Structure 1
């Protein structure tokens, strides 16, 4: 796994880089907001660990520009700004997770690895007997990157939306249990409420409106992907 660490405090940056490298993670470190986007594009990370208080360009601006540029890498914001309003602002800007300082290193690593797993392409839905992501109604999943295309265009999906759509593409026309989808979309996240999968499904359904596919809720069963009309 490759981690892009964007942190302006030299001591914190050095500590985090050493910690993750000892645990088998390849780390690209950057301490300047103005250079962060270039490092992001060049390093092709699996996860970005982003501080908000950066010189040159603050972390939220870096995140906003990266998302506008089409960068879909999962982002965990790591900052001393722990107020609810700050967390909401960060998540609405495009972050996937948020951890306030001070923090526990083991929890930080667990959250980073959970984001990486969520964004990784699923080869199959284990135990269901169906092969991996297929092409359906103009939608297809790139097996190397995990990106989902509609025609020749990459869909702008959050990591959770992409994980849900990959699971449904694995067996279009067949119901996938909500419990199984929750495990795939929120792997190892015991603090997430079960109903959160409904929020992800709602957002994905709106993004599928312009495609030939429709996300259908089957009450008491789960969800399925079918052709519109």
Structure 2
């Protein structure tokens, strides 16, 4: 997974963006201030950054200017409530690669990060995951196996056998043996959150499942299914 460092001081938005980045296939490091940035930014690991401008202990623009003066080549996206034409020009002139206003569709943020990743030659890991149906477990690459409940196994089977493709909510609900029209969609969202936490807790790996808002999910890593 590609590591992204997110600098945003507003707690609710920081949590929302962090979850969104994780769901779209990135490994986010979320920080709330310039001081936290200094403690957590790792030039060897972080190749993309999403940076707010107005921070409690300084200016995001000043940080971007310093990063560029130091020769840092990471891709930088400004994500700010200050979104006039003059603000955008100032941000891009300072060294940001893209400038997005808060309130934009988060799919645009995902598209911008993907474009930056391509330009910088960043690629997601192609290590293979393995779903073992008989044993009822998921084998993340280079990590301990994760035992699965029957429901989690059914959901992952639906996703892994179509790895790289969109799987609709209807397909997943039907794989669970439920009637889509009578099914409470919040149950599926809750199950996916629990499954992500379980995989990360037991294996140390982020589950490579992207949420396709309003439509379904995608298992975006290379994967195999074993009977």
- After TM superposition, the score normalised by the length of structure 2 is 0.51
Match of 1:130 in 2: none
2:175 aligned partner: none
Question: CA offsets per residue over residues 41-62 of structure 1, 9 Å max, x none?
Answer: 3562121001001111210011
**1:61 pairs with 2:58:** no
Give 3-state SS (helix, strand or coil) of 2:54's partner.
Answer: coil
Greater relative contact order (Cα < 8 A, sep 6+): 2
Q: Which has the larger radius of gyration?
A: 2
Question: Could you tell me how far apart the structure 1 residues matched to 2:9 and 2:64 are?
Answer: 15
Which residue pairs with 1:127 in the alignment?
Answer: none
Mapping of residues 37-186 of structure 1, within 5 Å = 37-41=38-42, 44-120=45-121
The answer as to whether partners of 1:34 and 1:55 remain within 8 angstroms in 2 is no
How high is the TM-score relative to the length of structure 1?
Answer: 0.50
Aligned to 2:170: none
Q: How far apart, in 1, do the equivalents of 2:64 and 2:76 lie? A: 8
Could you say what the CA RMSD is over the residues aligned between the two structures, in angstroms?
A: 1.8
* CA distances 1:85-143 after superposition (whole Å, capped 9, x unpaired): 11111001100001011111111111111111111179xxxxxxxxxxxxxxxxxxxxx
What is the number of residues matched between the two proteins?
A: 122
Distance 1:42 1:10 in 2: 25
Distance in 2, matches of 1:38 and 1:67, equals: 19
Aligned partners of 2:24 and 2:110 also within 8 Å: no
Aligned partners of 1:38, 1:48: CA distance in 2, in Å?
15
Structure 2: which 5+ runs fail to align? 124-227
- The 2-side partners of 1:20 and 1:102 are apart by 16
d(CA) in 2 for partners of 1:37, 1:43: 14
2:14 pairs with 1:13: yes
Q: Which runs of 4+ in 1 moved over 2 A?
A: 37-44
